[in-house]
Every structure is written in structure tokens, then in C-alpha cells.
Amino acid sequence: MPTITMGRDSGDLEQYGPKLGTGFLGRHLVGEKKEAHTANPVRIDIARPHVVGVFGKRGSGKSYTLAVVTEELMNLQEEIKDNVSAIVIDTMGIYWSMKFPNDRQVNLLHEWNLKPQPLNTTHYIPEGQVEKFKENEIPFDKTFTLNPGELTASDWSMAFNIEPDEPQGILLDRAMRDLKSEKGNSYSLDDVIHYIRQAEGFEQQTKAALENRFYTAKDWGVFDEPGTDLNELTSRGESIVLDVSLFGAISGGWSVRTLLVGLLAKKILTERMRARRVEEIEEMEGMASSEMPIVWAILDEAHTFVPREGETPASVPLREWVKLGREPGVSLVLATQMPNKLHEDVIAQMDLLLSHRLTAKSDIDYLRNIMQTYMRYDLATYLDNLPRMPGAAICLDDNSERIYPIQVRPRLSWHGGGTPIAIKQQVQQTDTGEQEWKKHV
């Protein structure tokens, strides 16, 4: 049965074939609605950089699909895997479970000729949240910090929702300029607070308000000089999960998430652009080494980081990724249940788009306006013809200018993002060692 390879152009298909450097995404759906059945295997190109969009209403399978892509990144052939790195920004606290095999879907995996498999991820949490994770018995591997000296006055202004031309914004800009002039990037939040407290020419109310904002930033527990080394987060052949889920429970939670993503995106893009120049020089000299792995960043709730309206500290860096990423070698997988809230520049640059079911007219209309002209039918028709099951999606491939209905394969690792239910569930071991789920009241 011929393989459908999404995201791979004809030149790469001829040279490398449909499997080398690709991941098994699912199967092509033939037929409509209840009559649909799976057919040809569908694979996704991982060897080249891509911008991938994953859309769908709640419960349609977005987070599940992100994990499938991550699994395939880690299951590449060893000689290719060594040139790839994956970073998952976990905003919901569900990807720690990837370390465990998907034993509750053994029978379904068997139907797909697959087996449960744990994923060798490294789970990072903010250094200041260690006690919270221990109290809740949430496993983790390492901690990470951000260097506050690498953030600009503009980053802080957006995070704190301060206008640059108001008194707090002017004081903030002066503090950043003077501290960087004196200390470079080697200063702490305490240094910032001390500067604000001693600043002259500003009302006490202005200084106290800005000082309190930085005390709030200290409570986030993620800022410390010099910060976690970027090389540690982009290790060859590894999958890193940055768990920022507990920020949602504190004041300014989304602000620190956007600061984190913005800073990471800037640093990774800068380093990959430097590495790409070195790689091209080596190619000219007949060498074929990789200076730095191609980085895949996987991000849910994407509309909160790069919104259609307004700016966050992550907006400009992520838009730079999607515009420049193909050349330096960075890939981005963005998921959201509200594509109409996602910046149009980002969607316009997506070369692979997977849309699970959408029912909101505003979302369908927004996607319809940016969809390519080679679609034979209206977007709503494609979505309506999907079977009503999680994981069903339409996949638009801008490389081959084709659109396919697909069923995303079951996960190999444990899915921690399922919807909770009041009915208790019990795992029972079978004679063959497989686990089956039995429900009881």
C-alpha cells in the first residue's frame, strides 16, 4: 500500500524515499463520516524544518497529536535522530506521562501493529517550584532558570502590561539601560529592585508600583543569573519537556510563560543562524558535520503566545521563527482550539496544517480565508465529512498541494491529557501481561 508522505517535496522523495527521516503520523481516511475507514499509511517529514499548525475544538485530539509528533521525533533512525532536538512547552502539565508506556490502549495499538513504548524525555520544572511538585508528587528530572539580564525593557513592559511612555515604563527602560551598561547581562531581580528603589526623579508611588511588579516576578521562581545553558535544552537526539503548568495558578502566570517562550525562541534562532553559517562553510570545504541540531519547538495554546491582536514577549520571536526558520533550521508546531485568535502571519507561513473538528463559525471562516486555492471543496465540507472520533483530521500539505483526511495513530506513550470522569477506572493485569481498562461505578 503506497505511503503518503506529508511535507516532503519531490526531490527529497526521489532521493530519500518516503520513510527515511519521516515519522508515522496515521492513516489516510477513505470514505465519509461513519463510512470512513483507514487505508494508506501517512508519514510526516521531520528531516527538514517545517511550520505545522494543529487545530481543533476541545477534546478533538490536539494535545494527543502533539505527543504523537514528539514520539516520532524521538523514534527516528539513530543517524538522523542525532541531528534533531525537541522542546515541548507544557502549559497544561500533561506531558510528564510520556515516560510511561500506553498500556491502557494495548488492544488498539495491536490493531495498528504497534506496541506500548515509554519515551525517554527529560522533564524540566522551574527551580522555584520544586517544593510544589514534590508536594503534589509530580515526577520531574531537572530544574531550569532564566537569566533576567537577557530580557529587554520591552519584554518586561509587555509582561507587566506597562505602556513604555508612562512613568513606570520610563523608569523601567532607564533601569534596564543602566544595569546593562554597568553589569552586562549579569544582574538579578534584586539588582533591578534596588535600582528602582534608589532611582531619582520619579514619584514614590511610581517606584513602589514597579518594585511590586518585580517582587511578583521573583515569586514566579524562574529567574536567576546566569540561567540554564541553552545547549542543555537543545541536546542532540533528546526530547525536553519544559513544564510551566503551575504558573497558571499564580499572578501573572501567562506573562512568565510568554517571557520564557520569547527568550528561548530568540536564543535558539540566534544560535541556529550562527550554526548554519558554520555548517555552510564546512559544506563548501567538503565536510558534512552538524554544528547544532535542528530544533523542533512544540507549543499548545499558541494563540496566547502569538495572538492575532496585541503583542506578548513571544510574539516577535515566534513570528521571526516562522519567517526565517526554514533557512537556519528551526521547526515550530503550534496548536490551538481558536485559530481565529492566532496571528495571521503565522498561519500564512504554515506549510503543514492538521485540523481536527472545528465547530465555531469564526474559526472556520478565518481558516477558510487563508486556505490555499487548490482545495477542491470548501473547508467546512472537509471538516463535516470527518468521522466523529478523536484524532480524525484533515491534513493540508503545501509542499505537494494536496489535502488528505487522516486518522492520527494511537500513542505509544501514556496520554496524560484525557478528560477526567466521575466513574472510577481500574487497571487489571491480564495473563499476557497486557493491561485492560474496566469501568465500574
10 Å Cβ neighbour count for 137?
Answer: 6
What is the second-level CATH architecture of the domain 4-143+235-408? 3-Layer(aba) Sandwich (3.40)
10 Å Cβ neighbour count for 187?
Answer: 20
What residues contact residue 359 under an 8 Å CB cut-off, 6+ apart?
Answer: 57
Angle among Cα 91, 97, 102 to the nearest 5 degrees reads 135
Whether the CB-CB separation of 174 and 158 falls below 8 Å is answered with no
Helices (H), 161-252: 167-183, 189-198, 204-219, 230-233
Give the torsion through C-alpha atoms of 15, 19, 23, 28, to 10 deg. 110
pLDDT tens-digit profile, the chain (441 residues)? 789 999 999 999 999 999 999 999 999 999 988 888 999 999 999 999 999 999 999 888 899 999 999 999 999 888 888 889 999 999 999 999 999 999 999 999 999 999 999 999 999 999 999 998 899 888 899 999 999 999 999 999 998 989 999 999 999 999 999 999 999 999 999 999 999 999 999 999 999 999 999 999 988 889 988 889 888 899 888 999 999 988 866 666 778 899 999 999 999 998 888 887 777 766 666 555 566 889 999 999 999 999 999 999 999 999 999 998 788 889 999 999 999 999 999 998 999 999 998 888 888 888 877 665 556 677 788 888 999 888 999 999 988 888 899 999 999 999 876 666 666 555 444 333 333 322 322
Residue 252, SS3 per DSSP: coil
What are the domain boundaries of the chain?
4-143+235-408, 148-219
How far apart are alpha carbons 179 and 234 in whole angstroms?
Answer: 29
